[in-house]
Amino acid sequence: GDSVTQMEGPVTLSEEAFLTINCTYTATGYPSLFWYVQYPGEGLQLLLKATKADDKGSNKGFEATYRKETTSFHLEKGSVQVSDSAVYFCALSVPRGNYQLIWGAGTKLIIKP
Amino acid sequence: EAQVTQNPRYLITVTGKKLTVTCSQNMNHEYMSWYRQDPGLGLRQIYYSMNVEVTDKGDVPEGYKVSRKEKRNFPLILESPSPNQTSLYFCASSKGQGPTEAFFGQGTRLTVV
């Protein structure tokens, strides 16, 4: 079945470091891919998305490229800030049925000053 | 302001005592769903609704009920809560089918003792 695998956390970085959070997926058909972010005590909010192969989603300095050949959608940011500390979720949506979102387990990111 | 509102935010209850968690959205979205979030498991869908009076089971529906009598409201009902339903619950809504953004409530942390 459809699934999403994320790197386990927590990931701890210093401020201004380069960030990569890996996400790979298994899906039949042509899924849309998403990154959501959950700040402490809050609900999830969409960070970025890509709907077809080679699309690049970007927002708030974060980027992710839909790589169909490697079934990946890795999240990157060139210079992280303390305010980026949160839990990041990779998810996919398959264009059939109810378009249910399939979620990764989440990766906790901790940025130290 | 576009939002999904859940209540209560925190709830401690005893085994077997019926409870309802309310969810309301003000964006006129057709699609609503309930998730539970448990450490290491990401988000798992409990129930979803594609429109008024249309509900269906997600991945982990056992022990839960929902109703969708109005477009804006989608309450989650636990008829006889058990300790394994201790979790963080999120309600979400989106415009409809397809790769559209899901908007999340702030979550309800439920503890069943």
Per-residue pLDDT reduced to its tens digit, A77-95:
999 999 999 999 999 987 7
Q: How many CB pairs under 8 A join A and B?
A: 54
| Partner-chain contact A43 B90, CB within 8 Å | yes
Query: What single DSSP character describes residue A83?
Result: G
pLDDT at B101: 83
Question: What pLDDT is recorded for position A96?
Answer: 67
Residue A106 touches chain B, beta carbons under 8 Å: yes
Cα separation, A54 vs A1, in Å, equals 23
Asked if the model's pLDDT at residue B103 lies above 80, the reply is yes
Q: For A96-109, how does the pLDDT look when each residue is reduced to its tens digit (9 = 90+)?
A: 666 678 899 999 99
Q: Tell whether A10 lies on the interface with B, counting CB pairs under 8 A.
A: no
Reported as a pLDDT band with limits 50, 70 and 90, residue B1 is confident
Mutation site for A-interface testing, chosen from B1, B4, B43 by largest number of A Cβ within 10 Å: B43
Helix-, strand-, coil-residue percentages of chain B, each rounded to 5? 5, 50, 45
Q: Residue B28 above 70 pLDDT?
A: yes
pLDDT band at A28 (very low <50, low <70, confident <90, very high): confident
Mean pLDDT of chain A: 93
Reported in sequence order, the residue ranges of chain A that DSSP labels E, i.e. its strands, are 3-6, 11-14, 19-21, 23-26, 32-38, 44-50, 56-59, 62-65, 75-77, 86-93, 101-103, 107-112
Query: Within a 13 Å sphere around the CA of A41, how many CA atoms are in the beta-carbon half?
Result: 1
Q: Among residues 62-81 of chain B, which lie with CB inside 8 Å of chain A? A: none
Taking the CA of residue A23 and the nearest CA in chain B, the distance in Å comes to: 13
Q: Is A48 on the interface with B (CB under 8 A)?
A: no
Nearest CA in chain B to A35: B101
Task: Report pLDDT digits (tens) over B42-74.
Answer: 889 999 998 899 999 998 999 999 999 999 999
